[in-house]
Amino acid sequence: MTAPWAIEKAKKKNNNGSSSETTCEYYDGFTSAGEATSMPSGIYDLEHLKKWGKSKNWCPYYLTRKAINHASVLVFNYQYMLDPKVAKMVSKELESESIIVFDEAHNIDSVCIEALSVTIHERHLEQATRSLGRLSSEVSRIKASDASRLQAEYQTLVNGLIDQGLLDANPNEVGLASNILPSDVLNEAVPGNIRRAEHFIAFMKKIVEHLKARLRTVAGPRGGVVSETPLAFLHRMITTTSLEAKPLKFAYTRLSSLLRTLQVPNLDDFNALTDVADFATLISTYSEGQPKFAIIMEPNGSSIPGASDP
């Protein structure tokens, strides 16, 4: 409802007298107010912000994001400072000389581990498979009705991510933010074998099927908990799937680009696939040198007697 493409599409259709696109009236009110979106000095909690936003017909979320840049004191949980996906969207505008006080600081390590971990279950991989099927159908539809959109994306990927602004996270697309931006991804064009949408979807299908196979091994009669270094896991993946290591580094940003190009209305439907792409980028980026993390595969049990859920 607040994605740039949805708003633009709604405007175009409204100019023609009708629109099937739904936008958020509170977000529209906030953007229409522009510089007038100010608040009187005071102490505000979430309920106060919601009431103030509703009274002005302004989105309280975007109102808060603007207000924090002018606040003297902010109180929020660890994730807004330590989780890269959240911090880059919320805390990056804070002044460099800000004083940060952590309460219950002994919890920081567990929060950091959680924020920088990727957990993938077998059901997530099934969801990722369905998501890839949806993307494949949508790509076929776009190729038939608006092939220029895919061609424009291809050219963007050739020119590189930084120059084309693909790595500037839009505040309306928080779900596309990534934990990791390796130098190769920042400074190079996306590898040719995953630039075309249909080739990238086939690439991701191989990754998903490989992960399914790995999880089946730990759930079998000779299975159990397995821990591997990123290098060992990556070597086995490349050997089994015949994929190249370099394109794996671009999996997350390539998926983000495709979701934007296809103008996907609900990014939450693709969370499982996004996690797989995030995982692929992690293991390929940090596979060399001293291991910085481990890949742990384990059967977690199941609500069905005699069956396990990796």
Structure-model confidence comparison of residues 59 and 222, the more confident one: 59
Which residue matches tokens 């991510």?
161
| pLDDT (0 to 100) of residue 171 | 44
pLDDT digits (tens, 9 = 90+) for 127-144: 999 999 999 999 999 988
The angle at the Cα of 185, spanning 181 to 187, to the nearest 5 degrees, equals: 110
CA distance 117 to 138: 30
Q: HSE of 230 in the Cβ direction (CA atoms, 13 Å)?
A: 18
Structure-model confidence comparison of residues 113 and 17, the more confident one: 113
Query: What is 90-120 written as a DSSP string?
Result: HTTTS-TT-----SSGGGHHHHHHHHT----
pLDDT for 183 beyond 70: no
pLDDT for 22 beyond 60: yes
Q: HSE of 161 in the Cβ direction (CA atoms, 13 Å)?
A: 26
- Looking at every residue in the chain, the average pLDDT score rounds to 80
pLDDT for 104 beyond 50: yes
pLDDT bracket for residue 10 (50, 70, 90): low
pLDDT for 177 beyond 70: no
- Closest CA relative to residue 158, chosen from 189, 187, 185: 189
CA distance 241 to 252: 19
**Residue 176, both tokens:** 């596309």
CA distance 41 to 219: 58
Instruction: Check if the beta carbon of residue 27 is closer than 8 Å to that of residue 2.
Output: yes
pLDDT digits (tens, 9 = 90+) for 115-130: 878 899 999 999 999 9
- Top-confidence range, 23-32, 157-166, 229-238, 257-266: 229-238
Structure-model confidence comparison of residues 65 and 36, the more confident one: 65
pLDDT digits (tens, 9 = 90+) for 200-253: 999 999 999 999 999 998 887 777 889 999 999 999 999 999 999 989 988 998
In 36-192, where does DSSP find H-type helix?
A: 46-56, 60-67, 79-82, 84-90, 108-115, 122-145, 147-159, 183-187
pLDDT digits (tens, 9 = 90+) for 252-305: 989 988 998 888 878 889 999 999 999 998 898 888 777 778 999 988 654 444
The angle at the Cα of 248, spanning 151 to 112, to the nearest 5 degrees, equals: 120
Strand 226-228 relative to strand 295-297: parallel, antiparallel, unpaired? Answer: antiparallel
What contacts 63, CB < 8 A, 6 or more positions away? 30, 37, 39, 49, 52, 53
| pLDDT (0 to 100) of residue 166 | 46
| pLDDT (0 to 100) of residue 21 | 60
